[in-house]
Amino acid sequence: MSTNKSTIEKYIDGFNKSDHAQILSCLTDDVEWVMPGNFHLKGKVEFDGEIENDAFTGRPIVKLMRMIEENNVVIAEGTVQGSFKNGDKLNARFCDVFEMRDALINRLITYLIVLPE
């Protein structure tokens, strides 16, 4: 497995454990996270604020289905499940486009589709 893909696995594992330090260790200082139509975050401080979104309770369950890499771009597909504080459930599929620099995530674009319950 490539160093870039190993970084992505470590990043996803950090979300499953709600381990901020582990997640942040996978990012460049000037990281950007874009979720079209939802948000555009810049830097580790803003990124850290979104790791545990206030609307959710508990830890998410994130599963990688596959990763594809070309040059310094890794595309990851997977699923995410979680629970909202209001009792609703999140069941979604994602496609993340990771732009890497020196084996760290420099830019992330997340495409998310919420599936019906």
pLDDT of residue 59: 87
Segments making up each domain of the chain, as ranges: 3-114
pLDDT of residue 56: 82
* pLDDT tens for each residue of 61-76: 999 999 999 999 999 9
Contact by Cβ (8 Å): 27, 44? yes
Best CA proximity match to 8, nearest among 81, 91, 72: 72
Best CA proximity match to 80, nearest among 104, 39, 51: 51
CB atoms within 10 A of CB 47: 19
pLDDT of residue 48: 92
Reduced to 3 states (helix: H, G, I; strand: E, B; else coil), residue 23 is helix
pLDDT of residue 57: 83
Give the chain's residues under pLDDT 50: none
Show the 3-state SS of 31-51: EEEEECCCEEEEHHHHHHHHH
Average pLDDT score over the chain = 94
* pLDDT tens for each residue of 89-107: 999 999 999 999 999 999 9
- Name the burial class of residue 43, with classes exposed (0-12), middle (13-18) and buried (19+) by CB atoms within 10 angstroms of its CB: middle
pLDDT of residue 55: 78
Report the topology of domain 3-114. Answer: Nuclear Transport Factor 2; Chain: A, (3.10.450)
Task: Extract the tokens encoding 69.
Answer: 């890499």
d(CA 88, CA 54): 14
